[in-house]
Chain A
Amino acid sequence: MSAHEITFPTTEEQIRALKAGDEVIVQGHVIGIRDRTQIRIFDQGVEPPMDLSGAFLLHTAPNVRKLGPGRYEPLCVGTTTSARMVRFTEPLGERYGVRAICGKGGFPDEAIEPMRRLGMVYFAIVGGAAALETTQIEEIEEVVWEELMPECLWRFRVKDFGPLTVGIDAHGNSLYRDVQERARKKLEDIYARL
């Protein structure tokens, strides 16, 4: 397991250099996205008015304070459970060139193959660690689809965002699948003892 620092947007090559279990600190830009944002893009067919190529997407619905038209300041930015949004993985990579999706709790196994094929990774953040996450957000640079508040499309500029763990890499490895396989085996032993 090695440690990396990556500035987003990034390239396929940088993403393919990561292995499941690696530690990553992120610089540059992070794009906030959630259930309703992706339902609008993919189920309602509305093109996102923000460039997602090479992007790092974060599953979030931030608490913010409005400063003026289109201007917000972060109050408390945390991360939501990713599993609900797994079906958007393939089109995000294929149509928009997204490189990383970050959330908490992991993606089910159906994300492994598209991530391998398209050169994408899933980053695990520590769920609930919102106070820390908020201090790593320097500025909310852009917000679109404000009517979906707080599930808009957000562009944050971040500094030393993390530490993140590569949960699923672009080579077909998933920590979540490994953990489940080992735990299921262990449960068989435990049940035999009960």
Chain B
Amino acid sequence: MAATTTVSRLQDAVLEAAARLYVWALKDIPQDLRDALGDAAEKETSVTGQRVLQTILRNVQVAEQERNLVCQDTGIAVYYCRVGERFPLHPARIYEALRAGTERATLEHPLRSNTVHTLTRENTGPNTGYRVPIVHWDFVPGWDGLDVKCVPKGSGSENMSFLKMCVPADGVRGIKRFVLDSIVGAGGKPCPPGIVGVGIGGSADYAMHLAKEAIARPVGTRNPDPLVAQLEDELTELLNETGVGPMGLGGDVTVLSVHVEHADTHMTLNPVAVNYQCWAARRASAHVAASGDVRYDRDA
């Protein structure tokens, strides 16, 4: 009986957290992102780029004052969960809670509902549907907590996703070329300057999964592997030489940062995936303890 109470209380706590995170992410962008956009405005020398960045900064302020959404696209709800081995709620129940939380936030706020059946294009409900929300899972041995991060992913940037199965002979050069080509080709469509997520290695599907993990990191953070971190720095610098600029109207700042995640791969594979996150790189996180206590975290 006591165990059942704990479980249902925990499920409610996760549901509540999901609902709050979704709305919070949409209204109040994290400090690291505000700082990065401020730095971009300091660096930008073009007239059009400056106009765009000043408008972006003003918009972030107005969203705060008016308690309105930063961007009208409430996105597709993506959650990232790190589940401790000893967290008392099974992931099947965590998923139920995330789905119910997404629905509650959508109906109570109310938020625009974007989810449709892929073939019929009929709306499927309050930002939920078959296999939506989308959840990335990670499991932590020994731990009894749960970390949840909500990333409402807008379609303008998600439409600018690219995958290439480079061959081993293409090497790192092939990876770099593909990222550069993809982002220049995307132009102003994904609302630059944003975060470029790159996934390398693994398999075709896993490379894209890693690219999506990469965009969820706080902007400008670096991969712990120094070789990968070096690639992040180099790609960031090279992309900012291309002159695509804010909203693709020309300028110095094309990206805020490139984040790379990697997995080891087959000796004859060299997959590279690109997933773009717009300047309004919305995310919000919470830590749920085994007791059901929730701590919200602006920085994670």
Contacts and interface: CB of A to CB of B under 8 A. Distances in A.
B159 A81 contact: yes
A63 to B, nearest CB: 5
Interface string B117-134: 000000000000000000
B145 interface: no
B6 to A, nearest CB: 38
A167 B246 CA distance: 13
Contacts of A187: 180-181, 184, 242
A91 interface: no
Contacts of B255: none
Contacts of B150: none
Interface string A117-128: 000000010111
Interface string A70-89: 00000111111101000000
Nearest to A36: B121
Contacts of A128: 56, 59, 70-71, 73, 154, 156, 191, 278-280
- Chain A CB within 10 Å — which of B70, B72, B245, B278 has the most? B72
Contact of A176 (B66, B69, B155, B187): B187
A40 interface: no
Contacts, number: 149
Contact of B189 (A106, A178, A186): A106
A130 interface: yes
Closest CB pairs A-B (n = 3): A78-B72, A131-B63, A129-B59
Given A131-B59, A132-B62, A104 B242 contact: no
A62 B72 contact: yes
Contacts of A23: 51
Interface of B: 47-48, 51-52, 55-56, 58-60, 62-63, 66, 68-73, 111-112, 154-156, 159, 173, 176-177, 180-181, 184, 187-191, 238, 241-245, 247-250, 278-280
Given A128-B59, A131-B66, A183-B243, A104 B72 contact: no
Given A81-B159, A187-B180, A131 B189 contact: no
20 contacts: A21-B47, A62-B72, A63-B112, A77-B72, A83-B189, A105-B188, A106-B189, A124-B188, A126-B55, A127-B191, A128-B156, A128-B278, A129-B71, A132-B59, A163-B55, A165-B247, A165-B249, A176-B188, A179-B244, A182-B250
B40 to A, nearest CB: 13
A124 B243 contact: no
Contacts of A106: 187-189, 248-249
Contacts of A27: none
B243 A182 contact: yes
Given A78-B73, A81-B156, A106-B187, A183 B244 contact: yes
Contacts of B280: 128
Contact of B47 (A1, A105, A124, A132): A1
B157 to A, nearest CB: 9
Nearest to A77: B72
Contacts of A104: 156, 188-189, 191, 247
B184 A183 contact: yes
A77 B63 CA distance: 12
A131 B66 CA distance: 8
Contact of A21 (B48, B66, B279): B48
Given A105-B191, A178-B250, A183-B242, A126 B156 contact: no
